Amino acid sequence: MAVRSRITGVGGFVPSRVVTNHDLAAMMDTSDEWIVERTGIQQRHWAGPDDSPSGFALEAANAALTAANVAKEDIDLLLVATLSPDHFFPGTACFLQAKMGISEIPALDIRQQCTGFIYGTSIADQFIRTGMYEKVLVIGSEIHSKGLDKTDAGRDVTVLFGDGAGAIVMEATDVESTDDSQVFSTHLHADGSGADALWLSSPGMAHPDGLVTHAHLDRGDQYPKMNGRAVYVNAVKRMSEGIHDALAANEVTIDDVDLFFFHQANLRINEAVAQRLQIPAGKVYNTIQKFGNTTAATIPLGMKEAVEDGTLQPGMLVACAAFGSGFTWGSMLIRW
Ligand code: UT7
């Protein structure tokens, strides 16, 4: 017998406002044809003015707690992955903790963008394996829509992103065999030499002239900037490598895996990874068509969808991989 972590509940949330490609074409110089052909995205959800990432996180966390049948008072650690925090500081996990009404447990923000959920799951897994904590909430929550450039200048980035949140409850479990539900492994990586290939420059303390200035605002430094091609090429390479890591560490093959969850940045990226690894299309669970790229929320939101529509069943061997800004990437293999 060994102590491992397992996912016991999953939840998700998206705001009710649906923004189609046609809606975006009314705001900027883009088209449904371009977006669908280049990315696979048909629509995304956008937050309302009073929404916050911690508010979305609360919705997803409550749903995950209900699914796991765990009381919020029994959670030992709160992890929130987000690139769109409520405020510059303190962390969104602290705002969430106040909203949940559970004080004194540690509340930690994870700043690994699209890979944030994999980093969070890995951190939770290490704490559970060492016996320090027994129940951990891992949440990815994002509101991109309030921070995107909705003019022609921002069209390459703005059409890609959507708002939403996803959450899992992870609990300690005694496992006897690989058939038992558990997290087998997580692999984390980063390459900071690609940091400015997808980034948001301002506000930032590295600026000699201050956190945010009129010059920054005039240049649009408060909006994300991306070298789309560099991100695309690296995403295909690194998510493929991540799946290799996960399979090799556990001595299993592509054929042994029942379902793959890849980060959802571009349908073409995921098709290229599947082709490279010879994964049958039916084993890859894609949600980008209706949610766009929800960054750290993507994988748990996808898991929640897959549970609800019956695709994700107990006992399945599941591989996940993500790649994003940083560059950061990672993977994990779990028995659901
Ligand atoms: O989680 C990580 C987050 N990001 C990603 O993973 C994104 C990775 N990159 C991509 O998915 C792709 O690079 C994009 C979808 C962003 C772009 O697709 P692409 O096939 O690489 O297009 P491109 O950047 O080479 O641009 C082709 C053309 C350009 O026009 P010209 O120079 O050929 O006249 C762009 O100006 O498409 C134009 N374009 C657009 N046209 C209509 C760029 N964005 C848009 C747009 N609508 N939204």
User: Residue 1: its pLDDT value, please?
Assistant: 85
pLDDT digits (tens, 9 = 90+) for 258-286: 999 999 999 999 999 999 999 998 999 99
Q: Which residue's C-alpha comes closest to atom 5 of ligand 1? A: 265
Atom of ligand 1 nearest to the CA of 231: 8
267-277 vs 32-39: helix axis angle to the nearest 10?
20
| CA-CA-CA-CA dihedral for 336, 58, 140, 96, to nearest 10 | -130
Mean pLDDT, range 284-298, rounded to an integer: 98
- 144 has catalytic annotation: no
Mean pLDDT, range 18-35, rounded to an integer: 98
Mean pLDDT, range 236-247, rounded to an integer: 98
Domain 182-335 belongs in CATH node 3.30.1330.40: no
pLDDT digits (tens, 9 = 90+) for 134-192: 999 999 999 999 999 999 999 999 999 999 999 999 999 999 999 999 999 999 999 99
Q: Which residue's C-alpha comes closest to atom 30 of ligand 1? A: 156
pLDDT digits (tens, 9 = 90+) for 75-86: 999 999 999 999
Q: Which residue's C-alpha comes closest to atom 21 of ligand 1? A: 229
Mean pLDDT, range 54-67, rounded to an integer: 98
- 320 has catalytic annotation: no
| Domain map (residue ranges) of the chain | 2-175, 182-335
Nearest Cα residue to 141 out of 108, 171, 117: 117
Is 183 in a helix, a strand, or coil? strand
Cα of 53 vs centre of ligand 1, distance in Å, is 27
Q: Reply yes or no on whether the pLDDT at 251 is more than 90.
A: yes
| CB burial readout 15-35, b (16+ within 10 A) else e | beeebebeebbeeeebebeeb
The residue whose CB lies within 8 Å of the most ligand 1 atoms, and thus the one to mutate among 23, 38, 152, 233, is 38
Q: Which residues line ligand 1 (CB under 6 A)?
A: 30, 34, 38-39, 114, 155-156, 159-160, 198, 228-229, 231-232, 235, 265-266, 293, 324
298-308 vs 53-68: helix axis angle to the nearest 10?
40
- 207 has catalytic annotation: no
Cα of 334 vs centre of ligand 1, distance in Å, is 34
pLDDT digits (tens, 9 = 90+) for 84-108: 999 999 999 999 999 999 999 999 9
119, 330 in Cβ contact below 8 A?
yes
Token pair recorded at residue 44: 């995304």
Q: Which residue's C-alpha comes closest to atom 25 of ligand 1? A: 229
User: Residue 240: its pLDDT value, please?
Assistant: 98
Q: What is the mean pLDDT of the chain?
A: 97
Atom of ligand 1 nearest to the CA of 235: 6
In percent, how much of the chain has pLDDT > 70?
Answer: 100
Neighbours of 71 (CB within 10 A): 10
User: Residue 98: its pLDDT value, please?
Assistant: 98
Domain 2-175 belongs in CATH node 2.40.50.140: no
Q: Cis omega (within 30 of 0) on the bond before 203? A: yes
Mean pLDDT, range 302-314, rounded to an integer: 98
Is 192 in a helix, a strand, or coil? helix
Distance separating alpha carbons of residues 157 and 148, to the nearest angstrom: 8
Cα of 15 vs centre of ligand 1, distance in Å, is 26
Do the domains at 2-175 and 182-335 have one common CATH topology? yes
